[in-house]
């Protein structure tokens, strides 16, 4: 219980930071202060909080769990592409969002869309789709909290209690501190989990008899050597992950965070240091997940390996119920926590567990972003602020925080999917398909509200179709199940980890390309905004 006690102490510190930010606010009760910290975040806080809000349970628990089964290629799939694409989107889109928001007083991306395209209810549709797509991301935070506390405490803390505790802590400091409290907490948490990686690799590596020794032993094993190569992933699947980081700038919480910077020059350092931060956290997480396959003296990890072997050799012959049980035993989001529990001293395991919890709890920004969008894009837009005042607007945002956190917790208790797959298939893919909205609004004069509507509706339908398809077609044990083919060419397949289309691409590729095509075609077929509006956003 010592590691769990250290983590609980950490949660108390985080809660205090959020409440302290609320008490220190000079513009307490003002909407812009609660939702955007009065657009006053300095360079260091802006960099660390922006990075921290992108690094959730998906980064540490999801990446290590994915690399445990898929190998070192996990780093290439997500970290390498993110280190290139995300800084570019921050430089070309984030700075433009900041400039437009600063000039016209926008607080949410939907406000930009409404003003830029002269639309009303279409903006509400965009809000609803964004809210639904952000739900998996928030659920991941609750799942990660339950998984982390359950593993750190050696099973003493139940999953439901750990997830509920994290949800309450996050809800509390978001409720009191708003954007300022969230940014301060994210800054503190980012420093904590950036230091986690090096310490964890050194401690676990020493406990395993040397990290290089473990890797060499894996290279000599016919069953483990493929985990250290890219051979397990086809090029189409690998290329698909270049589209995933496009989701970052389209996420409402990242877009809103871009509006909190004090000056545009702060984006320069963010673009430079962002890839280094990705390297510092992704590399240790992936390597520890791979190295866990070399561990033989941790019963829980050995059970996962044996379950994987059973599924590979006997999966096709197992009854559906037994196959589901074996898949559940393979769940690997907790492998990095099991390694710490085995090889780290109890006090150090607690500190490192707090570092993991720091990444897990980054869902605070998503909750605040949805609260901001609801109050600004629904409550205020439809007359709530004018009728009840600014204090009621902030109170409504806080009530939304409570309601949405409760819904996310209830859904997380029922969510069977692993963290990595849940994020990639729904959250990331959906927002990548919505990225043409920002590009068109900020860079294309001819774009229209009807093009935006087509892009949004297509994204919602595509994500729903993928979810329905994966629920209707059982996941195969071995090679993909071809559902639709023409002339021997696979157009749609059900894979063990999700769905593949057009010969091995992930759904995110056609979703994003068709979304961009719809934006262009429908915009060219419909009436553009007034010349006055175009002149405001594209001055000569």
180 and 37 Cβ atoms separated by less than 8 Å: yes
Helices (H), 224-345: 235-240, 247-250, 252-258, 266-291, 299-314, 320-330, 335-343
19-36 mean pLDDT: 68
| Residue boundaries of the structural domains of the chain | 2-19+29-435
* Mean pLDDT (the chain, rounded): 84
Mean pLDDT (whole number) for 170-196: 81
User: Does domain 2-19+29-435 match CATH 1.20.1730.10?
Assistant: yes
Q: Quick one: what percent of the chain has pLDDT higher than 70?
A: 93
Number of CB atoms found within 10 A of residue 179's CB: 30
Q: How confident is the model at residue 360 (pLDDT cuts 50, 70, 90)?
A: low
Lowest mean pLDDT among 228-237, 350-359, 449-458: 350-359
For residue 209, name the pLDDT band (cuts at 50, 70, 90). Answer: confident
**Average confidence (pLDDT) over 111-127:** 93
Please state the rounded mean pLDDT for residues 440-449.
95
Residue 462 CB partners (closer than 8 Å, separation 6+): 430, 433, 507, 511, 514
Give the mean pLDDT of 12-39: 72
pLDDT at 3 over 80: no
Give the mean pLDDT of 493-498.
80
The per-residue pLDDT for 210 is 77
* Contact between 85 and 242 (Cβ < 8 Å): yes
pTM above 0.75, yes or no: yes
Q: Residue 21 — pLDDT band, cuts 50, 70, 90?
A: low
- Using alpha carbons, list the distances in angstroms from residue 403 to 114, 133, 393, 399: 26, 17, 15, 6
Q: What is the rounded distance in angstroms from the CA atom of residue 364 to the CA atom of residue 374?
A: 16
């Amino acid at each position: 219980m010592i590691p769990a006690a250290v983590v609980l102490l950490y949660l108390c510190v985080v809660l205090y930071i959020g409440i302290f930010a609320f008490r220190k606010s000079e513009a307490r009760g003002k909407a812009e202060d609660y939702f955007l910290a009065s657009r006053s975040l300095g360079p260091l806080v802006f960099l660390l909080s922006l990075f921290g809000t992108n690094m959730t349970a998906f980064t540490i628990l999801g990446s290590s769990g994915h690399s445990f089964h898929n190998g070192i290629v996990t780093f290439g799939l997500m970290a390498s592409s993110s280190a290139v694409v995300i800084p570019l989107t921050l430089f070309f889109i984030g700075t433009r969002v900041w400039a437009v928001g600063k000039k016209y007083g926008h607080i949410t991306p939907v406000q930009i869309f409404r003003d830029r395209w002269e639309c009303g209810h279409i903006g509400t549709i965009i809000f609803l789709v964004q809210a639904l797509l952000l739900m998996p991301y928030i659920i991941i935070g609750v799942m990660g909290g339950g998984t982390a506390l359950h593993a750190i405490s050696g099973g003493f803390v139940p999953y439901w209690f750990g997830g509920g505790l994290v949800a309450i802590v996050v809800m509390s400091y978001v409720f009191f501190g708003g954007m300022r409290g969230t940014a301060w907490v994210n800054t503190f948490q980012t420093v904590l989990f950036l230091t986690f990686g090096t310490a964890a690799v050194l401690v676990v590596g020493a406990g395993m008899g040397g990290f290089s020794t473990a890797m060499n032993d894996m290279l000599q094993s016919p069953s483990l050597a493929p985990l250290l190569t890219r051979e397990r992933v086809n090029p189409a699947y690998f290329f698909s992950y270049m589209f995933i980081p496009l989701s970052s700038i389209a996420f409402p919480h990242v877009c809103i965070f871009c509006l909190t910077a004090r000056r545009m020059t702060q984006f320069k350092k963010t673009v430079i240091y962002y890839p280094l931060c990705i390297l510092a956290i992704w590399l240790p997480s992936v390597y520890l997940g791979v190295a866990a396959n070399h561990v033989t003296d941790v019963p829980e990890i050995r059970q996962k390996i044996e379950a994987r072997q059973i599924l590979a050799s006997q999966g096709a012959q197992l009854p559906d119920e037994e196959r589901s049980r074996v898949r559940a035993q393979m769940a690997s989001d907790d492998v990095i926590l099991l390694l710490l529990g085995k090889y780290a001293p109890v006090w150090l395991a607690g500190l490192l567990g707090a570092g993991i919890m720091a990444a897990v709890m980054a869902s605070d920004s998503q909750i605040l972003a949805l609260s901001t969008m609801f109050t600004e894009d629904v409550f205020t837009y439809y007359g709530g602020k004018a009728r009840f005042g600014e204090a009621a607007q902030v109170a409504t945002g806080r009530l939304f925080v409570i309601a949405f956190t409760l819904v996310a917790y209830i859904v997380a208790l029922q969510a069977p999917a692993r963290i990595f797959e849940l994020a990639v298939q729904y959250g990331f893919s959906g927002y990548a398909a919505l990225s043409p909205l920002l590009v068109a609004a900020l860079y294309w004069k001819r774009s229209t509200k009807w093009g935006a509507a087509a892009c949004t509706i297509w994204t919602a339908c595509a994500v729903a179709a993928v979810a329905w398809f994966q629920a209707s077609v059982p996941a195969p044990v071995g090679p993909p199940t071809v559902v639709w083919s023409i002339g021997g060419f696979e157009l749609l397949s059900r894979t063990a980890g999700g769905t593949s289309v057009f010969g091995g691409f992930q759904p995110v590729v056609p979703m994003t390309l068709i979304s961009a095509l719809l934006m262009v075609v429908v915009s060219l077929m419909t009436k553009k905004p007034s010349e006055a509006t175009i002149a405001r956003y594209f001055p000569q």
